[in-house]
Chain A
Amino acid sequence: MSEPSEARLPEDKPLEIAGRVYNSRLLVGTGKYRDMDETGRAIAASGAEIVTFAVRRTNLGQNPDEPNLLDVVSPDHYTMLPNTAGCYTAKDAVRTCRLARELLDGHNLVKLEVLGEEKTLYPNMTETLVATEELVRDGFQVMVYCSDDPLLAKRLEDMGCIAIMPLGAPIGSGLGIQNRYNIRLIVENATVPVLVDAGVGTASDATIAMELGCDGVLMNTAIAQARNPVRMANAMRLAIESGREAYLSGRMPKRLYASASSPVDGIFF
C-alpha cells in the first residue's frame, strides 16, 4: 500500500518496551488452546518474548491439581503482560490491573482493554481514557488496546501510555487489517511503539501490519484456533520478520502499467 516512496528509509530501531529491548516483535495470547501443553509448545514456536494472560477467580474446591498457566509460561522466561479482557468499565479494569500487579509481585506492565459491547468487543474509548489516567497515576506502564482513531491514539500517548495497540479488526474475528490508512497514520504520529492488537487471521495479515511500519503485532486466536497451532505460530514468527524486513527495505512504488524487467537494449529480433 504504499504511498510514493519516501526519500529516506525507515530507521531500524529495536523494539523497546518499558526499558527493555526485545528481539521478537510478535506478542501472543494464551487463550483458546486445547490444553496447557499445546499452549506451551505454540508459544515456544512463535518466538514471542511477551505473553499476555487474563486474571480470573481461582476455582475453589475443584481440580486442585489443575496446571497453572504460570507454570507452563513462566515469568522467569517471558515478560508477562496481564490484560483486562472482560472489563467493560474503567473501574473493573483498574481493579484487575492492581490484582495482576499483586499476582506478579509488583510487575507493573499491563495491557489495558476496556470493552464496549459483547458483539464486537470494540474498545470503549471513553472508559479507556479514564482507566489510562488512573493507571498512569498509579505507576503502571500501560500498553493500551484502542480504536484505530489517530487522534485518540495520540491522546493516549500524551497521557503516558508506553505502547499504542489499535485493533486491526474485532478481537477473534480473523478479518485482517481493515483500515490500513489509519494504522499508517497512527504509526507516523507516534513516538512510542505501535502494535496491532486483534484482528489478524493469517500470516499475510501480520506481514501487512509490519509493512505498514508497526513495531509489533499481538495475536491469540489466529494461532490458537489454527488447525495446527504450533505450525501457525512458526508461520506468524516468519511473517512478522518478513514484514519488518520489507518495511525497512522500502518497497518499490506501485505503478498502474508494466515496466519490463529485462533490458530493451540489445534485443536482436
Chain B
Amino acid sequence: MMMRIQVNGKTTEVSDDATISVLLTQLSVTGKRLAVEVNEDIVPRSQHTEFQLSAGDRVEIVHAIGGG
C-alpha cells in the first residue's frame, strides 16, 4: 500500500511502511550531507533506518548552500 506525505512542500507517495532511509533512497539522495526534519522535529541520522513515516507527515530535507 502507498501513502502520501509532504516532502519539501511537495506531495510524494511512499510505501506505507517506509522509513526515512527508504525515502532518501527513493529520492536518490543517499550518501549526501543532509539533515531531515519530520513535522518540525529533527530526526538524527542515526535514526533514519528505523524512523517510520506516517501518512500526512511533513518532511523537510535540507543541505548547505552558499550564503552570507
Contacts and interface: CB of A to CB of B under 8 A. Distances in A.
A61 B27 contact: yes
A219 B37 CA distance: 30
A155 interface: no
Interface string B28-52: 1100111111001010110000000
Contacts of B32: 58, 68
Nearest to A91: B40
A98 B42 contact: yes
Given A58-B32, A102-B42, A103-B33, A70 B68 contact: no
A29 B35 contact: no
Minimum-distance CB pairs A-B, first 5:
A29-B68, A220-B68, A54-B67, A102-B35, A30-B66
A55 B63 CA distance: 6
B1 interface: no
Interface of B: 7-10, 27-29, 32-37, 40, 42, 44-45, 60-68
B40 to A, nearest CB: 6
Grouping DSSP codes into helix (H, G, I), strand (E, B) and loop, the A interface class, with mixed when no group exceeds half, is mixed
B44 A54 contact: no
Given A85-B68, A224-B68, 9 more contacts: A31-B68, A39-B66, A55-B63, A58-B29, A58-B62, A68-B64, A99-B37, A102-B44, A171-B68
Interface residues of A, number: 38
Nearest to B41: A98
Contact of A55 (B9, B42, B64): B64
B65 A54 contact: yes
Contacts of A98: 42
User: Which among B8, B33, B67 has the greatest number of chain A C-beta atoms within 10 A?
Assistant: B67
Contact of B62 (A80, A99, A218, A224): A99
